[in-house]
Amino acid sequence: MYSKCGCVNDAYGVFNSSKYHDVVSWTAMMTAFTQHGEDFSTLELFHKIKENRIEPNAASFLGVVKACGNIGAVAQGQLIHNLIMKSEFYSDGYLGNALIYMYATFGRLKDAFKVFSTLPEQDRISWEALIGELSQQGSFDLVRRCFEIMQQKGLVPQDTTYSNILSACSHGGEVNEGNIYFKHGGDQEVEKCTKTEHFNCMIDLFGRAGCLETAEEMHLSMPNNPDIIGWMTLLSACKTHGRVDLGKRCFQHVAQHEAAHAAAGYALMSSIYNDAQLSEDVDGIFDLTKSLGAWKIPGPVWIQLDDNLDKFIVENDSFHHHVGDQSQGSVDGFNIMVTRDGGCIP
């Protein structure tokens, strides 16, 4: 209940107050952590399950596999995969799909293919996981082949499937193919791609190919109002191709959004001006950024050394370490404060 209400600390308080735990309570808490981005805590609980000699169930494995994929815990993910293969859940389809997504996130295409080939049933989710990874690798020919086989098996492509195909076209520079899939869904006779994410994929496709006017027209032709992702995608293309004029138009729209969301837009526009040697405009953008407080929200960084996976958060003048034994030091001039419970010591 607390987890579904977003109160993870309260959920953990109830969990800690229980004198005895079974696999259901352990799994419920792990799932809560994973669903709310506390992936390190999920890994810690999984290790405690093993320490307490409690056999994980399928849901336990599912939660920890997702956590490994979310934070890029390659070594831990492989160890857990080995545990799954030795368990009674080695043929579980949900776990198989989760492992495909995990390896896809790691960029380990061979491992993803290996898991895919051993699944007792390759459903739509399995194919979409594989197509998603191939699209990120820019392997358009393989994406197209997988898409064709998927349709031959009678599996109906979803919106995410077409997003991945259009993304593959973008990374592979396949402008004509992208147009075909966007307008007609490949070999389908009806128009398929009508979602905002499909339009944004096409904006990225045209932008990468240098067709910036076409990308702008595509953005303005959205059935819904153009969103911040589309404007940022187009602004990034302007940076790549040195288009100050179009960049200004994009930036005017980006600047209207909340400062936290528009921070990257200020950085891109500053870079465009700097590349064009328009120093006065760069100063103006910097002053505007400061006045609106449009600084990027600090994001976490995960660093793996040997078998240890650590999480860091970089802020304005400090470098906070979130996992490990309590200690402190410095890295490249940054102060480091380390806590066991995942807290941040300023």
Question: How far, in whole angstroms, is CA 257 from its chain's centroid?
Answer: 22
Q: What are phi and psi for residue 310, nearest 5 degrees?
A: -115, 150
Strand partners, 320: 313, 337
Grade residue 212 by pLDDT with cuts at 50, 70 and 90: very high
| Residue 209 pLDDT | 93
279 vs 37: which has the higher pLDDT:
37
Q: What is the rounded average pLDDT of the residues 141-163?
A: 88
| Residue 325 pLDDT | 40
Instruction: Give the distance between the most distant pair of CA atoms in the chain.
Output: 66
Residue 40 has pLDDT above 80, yes or no: yes
Q: What is the rounded average pLDDT of the residues 193-212?
A: 89
How much of the chain exceeds pLDDT 90, in percent?
A: 34
Q: What are phi and psi for residue 52, nearest 5 degrees?
A: -85, 5
Q: What is the rounded average pLDDT of the residues 297-311?
A: 62
- Model pTM score: 0.67
Residue 337 has pLDDT above 60, yes or no: no
User: Any idea which residue has 């932008």 for tokens?
Assistant: 207
Grade residue 320 by pLDDT with cuts at 50, 70 and 90: very low
Grade residue 29 by pLDDT with cuts at 50, 70 and 90: very high
Q: Which residues contact 317 (CB under 8 A, 6 or more apart)?
A: none
Grade residue 310 by pLDDT with cuts at 50, 70 and 90: low
Grade residue 284 by pLDDT with cuts at 50, 70 and 90: low
User: Is the domain covering 1-121 a CATH 1.10.40.50 domain?
Assistant: no
**Domain coordinates in residue numbering, the chain:** 1-121, 122-193, 213-297, 298-346
Most confident of 30-34, 131-135, 221-225: 30-34
Residue 329 has pLDDT above 70, yes or no: no
Q: What is the rounded average pLDDT of the residues 316-329?
A: 44
Grade residue 140 by pLDDT with cuts at 50, 70 and 90: confident
Grade residue 326 by pLDDT with cuts at 50, 70 and 90: very low
Residue 133 has pLDDT above 50, yes or no: yes
314 vs 284: which has the higher pLDDT:
284
Q: 47-84, pLDDT tens digit by residue?
A: 999 888 889 999 999 999 999 999 888 889 999 999 99
Angle between the N-to-C axes of helices 109-118 and 93-106, in degrees from 0 to 180, rounded to the nearest 10: 170
| Residue 332 pLDDT | 41
| Residue 309 pLDDT | 63
Q: 233-277, pLDDT tens digit by residue?
A: 999 999 999 999 999 888 888 887 766 667 778 888 888 888 888
Residue 164 has pLDDT above 80, yes or no: yes
Start-to-end C-alpha separation, the chain = 32
Q: Which helix (H) or strand (E) holds 8?
A: helix 8-17
Grade residue 20 by pLDDT with cuts at 50, 70 and 90: confident
| Residue 137 pLDDT | 75
| Residue 269 pLDDT | 85
Q: What are phi and psi for residue 50, nearest 5 degrees?
A: -65, -40
